[in-house]
Structure 1
Amino acid sequence: MNFICILAILLITLGSSHGRRTDSPGTERRRGCKEGRARKVFNMVLEVCDGKDWIPIAADMQEMENGLKKLNKDVRELEMGLVQNPPRGCSDVRTRYLQHTGEDPEEGYYHVRPSTDMYKVYCEFPESAASWTRVGLWDQSWEYDGEKENLTVSLLSDRDHKMIRESNFSKVSINCDISLSFKADAVNNPTTLVALELQRKNNESRSVNVTIPTGDRESYTRVRLMRSSCTKLICQEKIGQPTQCGEGGLPSAGSTSPDLLLTQLQFLPQGRRRSAFSFHGTFYYALFE
């Protein structure tokens, strides 16, 4: 008899507890819910509380999942295309990213193949829809003043030079913060600047050497990069004294050179009479399109 009473009490207790735990979703909606709380209904439909009601979001999550799958597929296709069929230049990189993702690519390094060779280049993608190829040096610092040893500073590599020729760019913009000046008064070892002369008319460039030749002991030759330009050299003279302006590829006295993209500076200060020079800055690069 006691056993039957105990069993009846347990059944009543379990039934009451079960009833408290199985409120329907509709019941909780009427009572309200805590904002930000999430729950599953029948282990299938996910709902989130907005502070008043439970809002089902399973459909939105499925849409997001489908969107991510499509984006991953587009990115894989883009990556395979960049490897198997490299873009010809930064403009082609931008076109492909827009086609596959609907967004512009990030600024940085990409592999391109303008002709037969592959090059790793730095691409810029400004909001103007232009696509620039950056060539040169940046994030560095130069502090050279009349060094006693031979000094060669390469601003563009031979491979950069080759890539520029193969890419057939139509626009170029040179950016710098450098100051460059040198003098050669009766020097034994002349200073030489190797540069690309930018022929804007035909969209071509040719390599030139600008050299201060050995001069008379009393000569006065001063060459510097114009402060208002990253591309033009000016040669100065002193009235009544001989000068090398107009020789060795230098512009004539008081005039400026054509637009030049410097590729290498060769300072050769050895010997009893040496040139004096100064070269300072942190970046010197060209943007090609």
Structure 2
Amino acid sequence: MSSPALTLFGKTAIITGASRGIGSAIAHNLASKGLTNLVLVYTSASSLPLIEDLSRDLRSEFPGLHHVELINADLGTIEGPSKVVNEAKRLLCTGDDLKVDVLINNAGVAGNWKLEEGAGVKDGFERLYNVNVRGPLLLVTNLLPYLPDDRSGRIVNISSVSAACGFEGQSIYGGTKAALDAMTRTWARELKHRATVNSVNPGPVGTDMYESVTPEFQQLMKPFLMNTPAAQVDTEECREKGGRRAKPEEIAGIVGMLCTPDAGWCTGSVVCANGGMIFGLS
């Protein structure tokens, strides 16, 4: 029998985009809740050393994990989501008895193009929509036979504050995250007997993805951070940047809460994970 703290004991989770940043932090958070089987999905060969290190760390820190499996799949392709499911079946079970209790749609790509730059139609439109929108859609579709039948399942989509804020240059990226939020509400209804479905919407997070954006974009974000209540920490770095970025584990904490039985009455929601940036803009 699990202790009250091990609320995910006996359960299986899949996390996409798991090799670094928010995905890695979510893996640690869910494992700390007694998770039994964990599937970590990554895309690029350059991520393999990171995800292997993550797997070793999780096995060492959480001996209750029976399986920590790594799957290489490009969720931006038609075949990628079905590969995740087929490989999970091969690695975790015999026959067709796979059950996935928790799915975290974290994999995503970003890009900023202003209208005068063609809004990224040539360089970014298909890539961002294929990974950020079609990938989660196909993954959930492929997982339908393997979700719980008692509404104990949990699906959490990692969206973005960009879906609502209208940042310059984010016609495409913001659009993909708004689409993900819309699908969240639809899935909450369609899967009402199977799982709760929610989004969380981080603002700037201290990950390599955000640190790779241009200095110009970071300056563009500065006034938004300055108006974010939880970002107002009095340090020299924060004064220079106008407010601190979130830590990956802070986003993971909100995601982890949504995966527990305590969140069973929350579905179809976009849950604030941006330090109050949203209401600071209203």
Pairwise same-fold verdict (TM > 0.5): no
Q: Which has the higher strand share?
A: 1
TM-score range, shorter chain: under 0.3
Structure with the higher helix share, 1 or 2: 2
TM-score, normalised with respect to structure 1: 0.24
TM-score (norm 2): 0.25
